[in-house]
Structure 1
């Protein structure tokens, strides 16, 4: 056994330990902490301008495909605060512009040509430069960090003097570049995506299921995507619809005026002036017949929730070709006709009964719960017994 241990079991060898100085250890710990917390998500407003710019520069050093979602958000946050960018780009373009943004580092005394894109100075400063005379433009001020030069599109002869197309670096500069070619491609992709959304929205409506694709494409070309908040009046009773609406998501209430049928005893106590006679939801449209036939709407349409969809202005709809117009009149249907006086009165009384029932139910429940003075959120008992007044309000349309 002793020979077995001596032959097979060999002692472990340990390498000599390298003793590092305390300063080197501290620097290594700092580097590790900086790299691990480099892009940690922080609440909005906590980053200073200098810290935000440094984060943007580090994010732009990577290829666009290698950037994470937080790095794209940091670039978007910086660009959103630059007026020269927000004044030229839409909201969708501004959110996606970080996917084509790059960064260039320029030493002092170099000439930067801005004819092939839009440039933003992140660090350093530049001076407008005249490439014809090879001299600095003394009349124009120096462009510091946050300034810009170049353009997103081709420069016209009329705007050539107003746009700075050439600069001279006064120090080492970090400059964000948005390529003109990349911006044009991004713009085409956004337009194609919006057009696809409009086609799907129109074709999903029940009245346009069997339409040919070219005709739907004509409607999609003049459709605008729009979002309406809740409780917004889209169409007023007795007036022609101002636009055609294709509902993507959300609901609308169809109301009819009852003031001509029901005469209140006291105007102050009468809050209901409309009766809900129907609802409109996703995959439905309205307004085509009212605009093309110049007919007033028999109902008032109000958004019950937030509604997103596409709209076609009345002027654009009337400018369509005769084939598409006749096809709309053949397939589109007006909203069902107005109810008779008896039907409106019956519906009005039904809604009034439901309103009174909800009020009585809420009062009975509140009297039962608050009988011994129990109040939600208070957690204490009081000796004030007896029913308590109900302060709840019933939502009505006026």
Structure 2
């Protein structure tokens, strides 16, 4: 005679079951039906009948409620899907993502802007388990506890090292450590790159301590945007190098070699890129903005007491515009740069470090020397001196002219901005009315020429 897996006498009562199990997971109606089966072994019946055993085995699984998978809740009305958000709302998401340290340190500004368009917000109820193997999450509201010691993987960290640490640490120890960690608003978990399938599902997962709102960056979206940005950068670098005059006739094979070393840099206006008399530290390709090139000259300067002294002055000899390059000859021939290059506006450059240029193969270096030329290297010192004298004469004449105008105005009793020399301009607006604008001072206008 086969015996049942659990004897009727060993089945706990309702009160005992309620004390041991904190949540209602036992169907007591089915439990009562199980206990009332005739033919089960008990004190008065030493053997269980075959019919009772089969009936017991059929009803036994029904006394337990199956675990329900907790899915994300329905988004609240204020939480829109990415396709329904306006441009202003996308920008709000972008600004919010910049405030989260773990997101800001991993992503570039361009990646943040594009990911803000497809980032979503999920709502998880208390007790939910959120697995972070397919995305990077940031808690916006509520709190949670990780299920393992390793609940977050930043870009650059090796999954294999995490696996080794996981295998070296028992699961019980890891859960004990994670139980003391509380993730609050601004905390992150998960990964931007998909985790390998061999990792346990408990790795990179958390349990919500209360109802939570969580920002999710999908790993699929991140990898797609990263690939698109890399493709755009490849095209931009190719267009920049091939668009410069020295490289327009270059074969694409050599252009691709230079592209692999090109990096983007941003410089503010007034930044000294190259000092005169020094060897360039990089080759620069101007993506946007422009730079001024200056050469030095010795000039006699009159001091306030009439003493004449020699001073070094900077003379503007030209400008470097978009899709122009500089520094090739200085690096390859190891000769000082003849000009001082200063950014005139905000400038975005594609730069190749001098070490990379000197490490190119000889064929490519020879091609560079054949096509590139020194920047403003054909300007003689006499031309620089003449340009300086010309500029100084223009400045002197401007000073004389301004002084004469002020004297004439003063002699005629004209004080710009005071009395009748203040005029209120009126402009016609739609509807036939007039609009009063700001007060404007008159100086030597034609309307006052009779004074």
Instruction: Please report the TM-score for the alignment, with normalisation by the length of structure 1.
Output: 0.71
From the superposition, tell whether residues 303 and 57 of structure 1 become closer, same or farther in structure 2 (CA, over 3 Å): farther
1:230 is paired with a residue of what secondary structure?
coil
Provide Cα deviations, 1:129-178, integer angstroms capped at 9, x if missing partner: 2394495646533212222112223679xxx9xx9712111122221111
**The one of 294, 304, 319 aligned to 1:255:** 294
**The one of 213, 221, 225 aligned to 1:186:** 225
Report the Cα offset of residue 65 of structure 1: 3.4
From the superposition, tell whether residues 95 and 368 of structure 1 become closer, same or farther in structure 2 (CA, over 3 Å): farther
**The one of 183, 190, 200 aligned to 2:239:** 200
Report the Cα offset of residue 104 of structure 1: 2.3
Provide Cα deviations, 1:92-136, integer angstroms capped at 9, x if missing partner: 112112133123222221211112221111222111223944956
User: 1:153 aligned to 2:171?
Assistant: no
1:234–1:301 CA contact under 8 A, matched in 2: yes
Report the Cα offset of residue 326 of structure 1: 2.0
Segment of structure 1 superposing worse, 134-143 or 163-172: 134-143
Report the Cα offset of residue 257 of structure 1: 0.8
1:327 paired residue number: 367
1:128–1:136 CA contact under 8 A, matched in 2: no
2:402 paired residue number: 362
From the superposition, tell whether residues 135 and 304 of structure 1 become closer, same or farther in structure 2 (CA, over 3 Å): closer
Provide Cα deviations, 1:237-267, integer angstroms capped at 9, x if missing partner: 11111211112232222211113xx343549
1:74 is paired with a residue of what secondary structure?
helix
1:239 paired residue number: 278
From the superposition, tell whether residues 196 and 72 of structure 1 become closer, same or farther in structure 2 (CA, over 3 Å): same
User: 1:282 aligned to 2:290?
Assistant: no
1:255–1:301 CA contact under 8 A, matched in 2: yes
User: 1:95 aligned to 2:113?
Assistant: yes
User: 1:344 aligned to 2:380?
Assistant: no
Provide Cα deviations, 1:73-100, integer angstroms capped at 9, x if missing partner: 1111111111121122111112112133
**The one of 415, 422, 434 aligned to 1:374:** 415
2:374 is paired with a residue of what secondary structure?
coil
Aligned runs of 1:96-115 on 2, under 5 Å? 96-115=114-133
Larger Rg: 2
The aligned length equals 318
CA distance in 2: counterparts of 1:352 and 1:230, whole angstroms: 25
2:294 is paired with a residue of what secondary structure?
strand
Segment of structure 1 superposing worse, 182-191 or 271-280: 271-280
CA distance in 2: counterparts of 1:272 and 1:369, whole angstroms: 38
1:130 is paired with a residue of what secondary structure?
coil
From the superposition, tell whether residues 270 and 149 of structure 1 become closer, same or farther in structure 2 (CA, over 3 Å): farther
User: 1:171 aligned to 2:171?
Assistant: no
2:337 paired residue number: 297
CA distance in 1: counterparts of 2:367 and 2:76, whole angstroms: 55
User: 1:119 aligned to 2:137?
Assistant: yes
User: 1:61 aligned to 2:100?
Assistant: no
2:301 is paired with a residue of what secondary structure?
coil
2:391 is paired with a residue of what secondary structure?
helix
Provide Cα deviations, 1:344-396, integer angstroms capped at 9, x if missing partner: 322221111111122223333444556646344x66779xxxxxxxxxxxxxx
From the superposition, tell whether residues 251 and 139 of structure 1 become closer, same or farther in structure 2 (CA, over 3 Å): same
1:122–1:173 CA contact under 8 A, matched in 2: yes
Segment of structure 1 superposing worse, 170-179 or 360-369: 360-369
2:287 is paired with a residue of what secondary structure?
strand
Structure 2, gaps ≥5 residues long: 1-74, 150-170, 423-451
From the superposition, tell whether residues 215 and 140 of structure 1 become closer, same or farther in structure 2 (CA, over 3 Å): farther
Segment of structure 1 superposing worse, 94-103 or 237-246: 94-103
Report the Cα offset of residue 321 of structure 1: 2.5
1:229–1:303 CA contact under 8 A, matched in 2: yes
2:277 is paired with a residue of what secondary structure?
coil
CA distance in 1: counterparts of 2:223 and 2:406, whole angstroms: 63
From the superposition, tell whether residues 198 and 268 of structure 1 become closer, same or farther in structure 2 (CA, over 3 Å): farther
Instruction: Please report the TM-score for the alignment, with normalisation by the length of structure 2.
Output: 0.63
1:77 paired residue number: 95
CA distance in 2: counterparts of 1:268 and 1:103, whole angstroms: 73
